[in-house]
Amino acid sequence: MKRFVLLYLLILPCSLVFGADYSKIDKQAQVVPDNLKTPEEIAGYLTRNLTSPIEKSRAIFYWISQNIKYDNDILNTGSNHFDRKSILDEVLRTHKGVCQHFAELFNACCQSVGIQSYVISGYTRQSSQLDPLSHAWNAVLIDSRYYEFDVTWAAAAASEDFIDQYFLVLPSVFIKTHMPFDPIWQFLNNPLTNAEFVACDYSKLKINSDYNYYDSISKLPTLTVLDKMIRENNRIVKSGLINSLVRERAALNQKNINLFKYNLAIENYNEGVAIYNSYLDAKYKNFYGGKLTQEQIYDMLAKSRKRISMAGNMLNEIETPSSETKQLIQKTQESIYIQKQKLNKEDIFVTNYFKTWKPVRILMD
């Protein structure tokens, strides 16, 4: 759960379309019928008769900012949800939440009406001071360009005029108050490091570079979950572990990577054991009356050994594990060693089996 301290801002980023008249859309988006309970239903109602992505995102943005209230009690109780469904269920049930609730709801509503949207995690600056808690906000892709939104800060506004300051903002403006943990979400071809953001050094914004964030983002759907996690954390570390929020995020990512690798290792180990057990079943049935060929039997053992080896390799890739994880790894490695010994024994058995005269093979153990 991201946490956010509500403070009024002295430095306000400018909206992309400053002065645009959204009054008709805002009036339409003030309320939705009580029987609408899901992001799809709410977004569908809000965007009825609207055609452009900007109009649709405005209606969603306005409704959330006016109807979802920031809940400081969540910070005090330490309530946490780690999956999007739980976050969405809670915010739509209570109409309250913290930044993660606002961002996830905006994201779900936008995606349900065909707007490509993202939830971004990072940290922020208000009144020239870094906020002590991490934050979440949004970006959308419209006509091949990225724009950013902070519906949480809009909801905290003292007046309706303030809402426009965090609606449809250019990345080069947004970066002055919002720093993503992962630099690809800066949407800049020369992204700031954490040290530069902390120092308010924006000189890079005037210098073009070849950082291809667009390509990195477009490739995300093609990557495995583990590859995404590893690449993200590598980018975060490279950008500099300059403050506690960034260090905590990197440490949490590494913990999740280790857990994912461990679970993947266990999956491979269990699959290897399952294949081995299938081999034993065939063995005890005299390889189904001799119907299995030598090649088929060796293949079963080879597939089992491959899975077991993959499990061992995955465990070896776990970096800086906790003491608890170290114990789990050690126990699993011991099981892997025992299983490999069993496979070696069965390799010898199969070799001798096919060297033995067929009538007496059934007597072999």
pTM, full prediction: 0.85
Phi/psi region, residue 143 (left: phi>0; alpha: psi -120 to 50; beta: rest), is left
Which tens digits make up the pLDDT trace of 330-354? 999 999 999 999 999 999 999 988 8
Q: Largest Cα–Cα distance of the chain, in whole Å?
A: 93
- 205 contacts: CB under 8 Å, gap ≥ 6: 172, 175, 188, 190
Q: What count of residues does the chain have?
A: 365
Residue 141 has pLDDT above 80, yes or no: yes
Which residue's structure tokens are 């050094």? 201
- 292 contacts: CB under 8 Å, gap ≥ 6: 282
The pLDDT of residue 289 = 81
The pLDDT of residue 135 = 95
Which tens digits make up the pLDDT trace of 215-236? 999 999 999 999 999 999 999 9
Average pLDDT, the chain: 89
Cα separation, 19 vs 27, whole angstroms: 17
Q: Where are the domains of the chain?
A: 23-188, 264-361
Q: Domain 23-188 adopts which CATH fold?
A: C8orf32 fold (3.10.620)
Residue 3 has pLDDT above 80, yes or no: no
Residue 322 has pLDDT above 90, yes or no: no
